[in-house]
């Protein structure tokens, strides 16, 4: 019987021949053979999976709405979960796609890589105007307190609030170390901790509710 040329074989016959060829190889040869002939299939498969994961994450992020972004410098707390949950209740946020961001990754102090990275991050945050509220020490606050960067407390909270909390309120800041941030949540562990609300915030009502929650 005349032996068929490989190009004349049916798809089923080619598959059977391939199986027999692979079965006769050692495991090492099989791996080498697989990567030699099918590596582009793997590359394409990985690329498709990566694109799929990216697409899902992109869609999920697209659905999210940030209601408030708080940056806390030199935080002493390992977690802000309790504060976040209590804030959501106080602001009556039930939609899981509406989020509050509390960023405690910024540290200042002695000149080191962490401080340098934090300074760069603050520059980006302020340049992009993504943060609504800034909690930091007195010296850091003074560094950024220029050209109307922070809202007047009276403009944000009203004169009644300022009178009621006269000892805790300055012209454009509130003392965080006399608020729940220190007393209840332990997030601010240093004296002269200031809370400032950026004048560019688009979430003024939520910022006001945040301050009311901290000083109620």
pLDDT of residue 59 exceeding 90: no
Question: Residues 84-119: pLDDT tens digits?
Answer: 999 999 888 889 899 999 998 888 765 555 567 777
d(CA 207, CA 125): 17
pLDDT of residue 82 exceeding 60: yes
Rounded to an integer, the average pLDDT of 48-55 is 72
Give the whole-number percent of the chain exceeding pLDDT 90.
37
d(CA 155, CA 160): 11
Q: At 50, which helix (H) or strand (E)? A: helix 27-63
Q: Which residues contact 183 (CB under 8 A, 6 or more apart)?
A: none
Instruction: Return the bridge partners of 71, or none.
Output: 103, 134
> Does 124 lie in the same domain as 33?
no
pLDDT at 2: 46
Q: What angle do CA 7, 20, 10 make, to 5 degrees?
A: 30
Q: Which of 159, 141, 161, 149 lies closest to 211, judged by CA?
A: 161
> Does 202 lie in the same domain as 149?
yes
Question: Residues 155-196: pLDDT tens digits?
Answer: 999 999 999 999 999 999 999 888 888 878 888 878 888 999
Rounded to an integer, the average pLDDT of 120-129 is 78
DSSP output for 101-164: EEEEEE--SSSSHHHHHHHHHHHHHHHHT--SEEEEEHHHHHHH--TT-B--HHHHH-HHHHHH
> Does 186 lie in the same domain as 100?
yes
pLDDT at 79: 85
Top pLDDT among 145 and 63 is at: 145
d(CA 16, CA 116): 63
Name the phi and psi angles at 79, rounded to 5. Answer: -150, 150
> Does 46 lie in the same domain as 27?
yes
> Does 84 lie in the same domain as 48?
no
pLDDT of residue 68 exceeding 70: yes
Answer yes or no: are the C-beta atoms of 109 and 74 closer than 8 Å. Answer: yes
**Structural domain of residue 169, as residue ranges?**
65-215
Task: Specify the CATH number for the domain of residue 104.
Answer: 3.40.190.10
> Does 184 lie in the same domain as 107?
yes
> Does 175 lie in the same domain as 89?
yes
Question: Measured in whole angstroms, how far is the alpha carbon of residue 88 from the centre of its chain?
Answer: 17
> Does 150 lie in the same domain as 52?
no
Give the whole-number percent of the chain exceeding pLDDT 70.
74
Largest CA distance in the chain: 106
Per-residue DSSP letter, 165: T
Instruction: Return the bridge partners of 134, or none.
Output: 71, 196
> Do the domain assignments include residue 164?
yes
Among 12-26, 74-88, 142-156, top mean pLDDT goes to 142-156
> Does 70 lie in the same domain as 50?
no
Total domain count, the chain: 2
Q: Which of 28-37, 136-145, 146-155 has the lowest mean pLDDT?
A: 28-37
> Does 182 lie in the same domain as 151?
yes
> Does 46 lie in the same domain as 119?
no
User: What is the pTM for the complete model shown?
Assistant: 0.69
> Do the domain assignments include residue 158?
yes
> Does 144 lie in the same domain as 69?
yes
> Do the domain assignments include residue 3?
no
């Amino acid at each position: 019987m005349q032996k068929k040329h490989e190009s004349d074989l049916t798809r089923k016959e080619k598959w059977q021949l391939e199986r027999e060829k692979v079965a006769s190889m050692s495991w090492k040869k099989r791996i080498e053979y697989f990567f030699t002939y099918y590596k582009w299939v793997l590359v394409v498969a990985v690329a498709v999976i990566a694109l799929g994961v990216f697409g899902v994450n992109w869609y999920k992020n697209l659905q999210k709405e940030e209601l408030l972004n708080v940056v806390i410098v030199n935080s002493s707390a390992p977690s802000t979960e309790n504060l976040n949950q209590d804030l959501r209740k106080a602001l009556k946020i039930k939609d899981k796609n509406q989020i509050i961001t509390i960023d405690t990754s910024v540290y200042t102090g002695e000149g080191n890589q962490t401080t340098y990275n934090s300074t760069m991050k603050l520059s980006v945050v302020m340049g992009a105007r993504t943060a609504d509220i800034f909690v930091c020490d007195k010296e850091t606050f003074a560094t950024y307190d220029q050209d109307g960067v922070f809202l007047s407390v009276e403009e944000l909270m009203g004169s009644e609030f300022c009178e009621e909390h006269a000892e805790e309120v300055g012209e454009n800041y509130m003392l965080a170390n006399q608020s729940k941030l220190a007393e209840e949540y332990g997030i601010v562990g240093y004296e002269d901790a200031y809370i400032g609300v950026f004048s560019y915030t688009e979430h003024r009502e939520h910022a006001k509710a945040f301050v009311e929650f901290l000083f109620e």
